[in-house]
Amino acid sequence: MSLMTELFADIYARQDNRMTRLDARVKWIGAAALLVAVISSAKPVLPLAVLVIGLTGTLLADVPVRWIVMRLVPPLGVAGMLAVLQTWLNGVPWAVSLTLAARVLGAVSVMLWLSVVTPAHRLFQALGALGMPRAWVEVALLMYRYAFVFLDFAEDTITAQRVRLGYAGFRRGLSSAGIAAGTVLVRAVDQAERTGEAMRTRGYIGALPFAPLPALARRDWLALAGTLAAVAASFWWLEGR
Nearest to 227 by CA among 16, 37, 12: 37
What distance in Å separates the CA atoms of residue 210 and residue 41, rounded to the nearest whole number?
A: 37
Predicted confidence at residue 33, as pLDDT, reads 92
Predicted confidence at residue 13, as pLDDT, reads 67
Nearest to 30 by CA among 236, 234, 172, 201: 234
Give me the tens of pLDDT residue by residue for the chain, a chain 241 residues long. Answer: 555 555 565 666 677 777 878 888 999 999 999 999 998 888 888 888 998 888 888 888 777 788 888 888 887 887 778 777 777 766 767 666 788 888 888 898 898 888 888 888 888 888 888 888 888 888 888 888 888 888 888 888 888 888 888 888 888 888 888 888 899 999 888 988 888 888 888 777 777 777 778 888 888 899 999 999 998 998 888 876 5
Helix (H, G, I), strand (E, B) or coil at 132: coil
* pTM of structure: 0.75
Residues 6+ apart with CB under 8 A from 178: none
- Helix (H) or strand (E) run with residue 126 in it: helix 120-129
Count other Cβ atoms within 10 Å, centred on residue 210: 15
CB 160 within 8 A of CB 133: no
What letter would DSSP give residue 136?
Answer: H
What distance in Å separates the CA atoms of residue 119 and residue 125, rounded to the nearest whole number?
A: 10
Predicted confidence at residue 225, as pLDDT, reads 92
Predicted confidence at residue 79, as pLDDT, reads 77
Predicted confidence at residue 229, as pLDDT, reads 93
What distance in Å separates the CA atoms of residue 172 and residue 59, rounded to the nearest whole number?
A: 41
Predicted confidence at residue 82, as pLDDT, reads 75
Q: Where are the domains of the chain?
A: 3-119+212-239, 134-201
